[in-house]
Amino acid sequence: MASLADRSVTAETEDGAFRIVTVRTTDTVSACLRAHGLSGPSAVHLAEVITGTVLVRLAMAPDLRVQTLLRGRNGKGTLVADCHPDGGSRGLARQTRGPVDVGPGSMMQVLRSLPNGELHQGLVEVPEEYGLSGAFMVYMLESEQVTSVVGVGCAMDGERVEAAGGWMVQLMPECAEPPVDALYEHMRAAFHDPAAVLRGCDADPRALLEGILRGTASRTVSEGALEHRCRCSATRVLSSLATLSTADVEDILAKGETLEITCDYCQQAYEVSPESLRGLLDVS
């Protein structure tokens, strides 16, 4: 079987009842987990946070950036997803005292850019049931006032990501009597275990869409490629140092060493020479 590439599909049913977004994020999350050497429960949770963030972006504002910050239960670690309009996503995990524990007590914050440059923020607690799929459902309802069914999952085979992806079925506010009960019943019966569903179809967004629609007439609104992509560069690393005080920079310069800075997201190492540091002093 030819392997698929990471993609998203957004479709609407012809009756105007639902908008459906499906995504395959297998390669995106594989690359991200590899960069962090992450495995176990934290790896699955980070994969789910990235996938959910991609879904929120595609559903609410495909042309703008969305970030999610998840704090583990009992202060155990943080997971971050950063998803951009070009389809590129990156993530990071900070584990403290063991794997990032997700459930009641862990808070999920979603930050979505608005067209005027301001940030829309929503903070929800991860519910008892349905894990991060449930957290994104609560976020959509409470912060975006959109009733939806969300599934995010990551099927692992040992350390390897077998299939990752998800779906969001949104209720369209224009539809007076949407067949909600039938949808919920179908989703509960056939889509209650996201990892198993994704494993069964290699997270193919078209197959997921067809499985959700079951023959209901629909039209594709948009499709796009997804991938793991960091935004770091030597210039950005240097400009991040611009917040250092003159005294701090002079201190580093006095030691005469080349500074090594590693990107938190992709672990790429950057070397900052004393010359370029001195340039910062000249600017400030």
Q: Is residue 8 a contact partner of residue 22, using CB atoms and an 8 Å limit?
A: yes
- Under the binding rule (CB under 5 A), the answer on residue 92 touching Zn ion is no
Q: Is residue 201 a contact partner of residue 211, using CB atoms and an 8 Å limit?
A: yes
Per-residue binder mask for Zn ion (CB under 5 A), 223-252, x = binder: -------x-x--------------------
Q: Is residue 159 a contact partner of residue 30, using CB atoms and an 8 Å limit?
A: no
Stretch that binds Zn ion, among 39-47, 215-223, 253-261, 263-271 (CB under 5 A): 263-271
Stretch that binds Zn ion, among 15-23, 35-43, 119-127, 259-267 (CB under 5 A): 259-267
- Under the binding rule (CB under 5 A), the answer on residue 81 touching Zn ion is no
Stretch that binds Zn ion, among 48-56, 77-85, 97-105, 258-266 (CB under 5 A): 258-266
By C-beta, is 81 or 126 nearer to Zn ion?
Answer: 81
- Quickly tell me which residue has 């600017």 as its tokens: 283
Give the Cα separation of 277 and 283 in Å (integer): 10
Q: Is residue 29 a contact partner of residue 154, using CB atoms and an 8 Å limit?
A: yes
- Under the binding rule (CB under 5 A), the answer on residue 82 touching Zn ion is no
Q: Is residue 45 a contact partner of residue 227, using CB atoms and an 8 Å limit?
A: no
**CA–CA–CA angle 11, 130, 221 (5° rounding):** 5
Among residues 44, 263, 272, 280, the one that binds Zn ion under rule CB under 5 A: 263
Among residues 79, 266, 272, 277, the one that binds Zn ion under rule CB under 5 A: 266
